[in-house]
């Protein structure tokens, strides 16, 4: 889907920009899989939208502070600590920089334009219980220790640091957070924070999707399907009604069990209704699979509901904590058998 495609494109852009910063940021992304304040939740989302350009076509946010309250977070940390190399690398960064993302990172916000693959522009905003300048200094230290080139320029009173041969750029914006972005978007973030230019709140189509999205959940997303992908979808007859996909949005809450709401906006009411019928048919077929019955997985299908709301195909998942724990144990057991 478009949000996944955009996320992969962003990941490639960051990796090309700097392996060092990407490695550290990947660790913070992986740990994010509460009260609303200016470093997390809906309030931070509003602030972040004001710091990215109007050309933003897709956004993704992880409320890490809220996710830390969930049993899933505890399970992740336990698994993370069981990997000696990952834990050693992480502990080294914590010791060197005196910053602990697992405990101090509150939110992570990603914004990309539809042409991210060509433009290499993006913005990643990190907020938390750390001084932004300290985080940036940490990134510089790690980069230099890895013999990565680091550049420093001034822009409207802000220090911008480039890391890597094909640089991604980062800057600290007061007490608001750290911005890692493409060469143009890092400057746009500085200007927008100063009230200069049009920000993402002026993108009506994007904001309309965000309005129906639970931005207070542990993670949420909203994105328009880029023209190039839309053309590919439209030319594939095997995709049926999905060929008219226009945008995607949704959210996941993991503090108490697992609750997901996802929207796929299609070209017509008929396409949404047709996709709902196909999904309902497929769910019924899965319930009759002998393997799923043998594994005791059929009951989990009952937590999935699909519907059509005008031209939107909607997926709702609602599991209590006991069901989530049961599902994870079964999947863990299956993974061990496969190994």
Q: Please indicate whether residue 309 or residue 328 has the higher confidence score (pLDDT).
A: 309
Mean pLDDT of 223-234: 87
Residues 6+ apart with CB under 8 A from 236: 243
Give the three-state DSSP class for 118.
helix
Of 182, 210, 38, nearest in space to 119 by CA: 182
Mean pLDDT of 211-216: 93
Q: Give me the pLDDT at residue 62, please.
A: 95
Side by side, the strands of the sheet bearing 247-253 are: 150-155, 158-163, 168-173, 177-181, 123-128, 105-113, 56-62, 219-224, 247-253, 258-265, 312-319, 304-309
Which of the four pLDDT bands, split at 50, 70 and 90, describes residue 38?
low
Residue 25 scores a pLDDT above 90: no
Residues 6 and 124 sit within 8 Å (Cβ to Cβ): no
Q: Give me the pLDDT at residue 40, please.
A: 66
d(CA 217, CA 274): 29
C-alpha torsion angle, residues 325, 60, 6, 24 (rounded to 10): -80
d(CA 4, CA 187): 26
Number of H helices, E strands in the chain: 16, 12
DSSP state of 225: P
Reported residue count of the chain is 339
Mean pLDDT rounded to a whole number for the chain: 84
The separation between CA 258 and the C-alpha centre of its own chain, rounded to angstroms, equals 17
Residues 6+ apart with CB under 8 A from 226: 2, 5, 6, 57, 114, 115
Q: To the nearest whole percent, how much of the chain has pLDDT over 70?
A: 87
50-92: per-residue pLDDT in tens?
Answer: 999 999 999 999 999 999 999 989 988 888 888 888 889 889 8
């Amino acid at each position: 889907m478009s949000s996944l495609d955009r996320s992969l494109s962003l990941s490639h852009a960051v990796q090309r920009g700097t392996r060092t910063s990407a490695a550290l940021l990947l660790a913070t992304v992986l740990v994010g899989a509460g009260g609303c304040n200016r470093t997390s939740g809906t309030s931070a989302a509003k602030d972040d939208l004001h710091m990215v350009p109007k050309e933003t076509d897709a956004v993704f946010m992880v409320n890490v502070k809220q996710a830390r309250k969930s049993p899933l977070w505890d399970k992740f940390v336990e698994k993370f600590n069981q990997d000696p190399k990952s834990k050693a690398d992480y502990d080294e960064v914590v010791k060197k920089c005196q910053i602990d993302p697992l405990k101090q990172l509150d939110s992570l916000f990603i914004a990309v334009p539809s042409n991210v693959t060509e433009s290499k522009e993006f913005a990643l905003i990190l907020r938390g219980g750390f001084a932004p300048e300290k985080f940036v200094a940490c990134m510089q230290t790690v980069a230099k220790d890895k013999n990565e080139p680091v550049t420093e320029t001034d822009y409207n009173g802000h220090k911008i640091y480039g890391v890597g041969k094909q640089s991604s750029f980062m800057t600290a914006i007061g007490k608001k957070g750290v911005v890692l972005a493409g060469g143009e978007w890092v400057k746009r973030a500085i200007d927008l924070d100063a009230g200069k230019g049009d920000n993402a709140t002026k993108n009506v189509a994007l904001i309309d999707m965000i309005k129906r999205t639970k931005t207070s959940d542990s993670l949420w997303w909203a994105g328009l399907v880029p023209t190039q992908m839309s053309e590919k979808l439209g030319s594939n007859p095997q995709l049926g009604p999905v060929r008219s996909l226009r945008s995607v949005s949704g959210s996941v809450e993991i503090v108490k069990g697992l609750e997901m709401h996802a929207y796929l906006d299609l070209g017509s009411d008929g396409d949404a209704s047709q996709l709902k019928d196909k999904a309902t048919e497929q769910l019924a077929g899965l319930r009759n699979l002998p393997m799923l019955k043998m594994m005791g997985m059929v009951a989990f299908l009952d937590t999935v509901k699909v519907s059509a709301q005008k031209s939107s195909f909607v997926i709702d998942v609602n599991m209590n904590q006991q069901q989530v724990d049961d599902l994870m144990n079964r999947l863990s057991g299956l993974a061990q058998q496969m190994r």
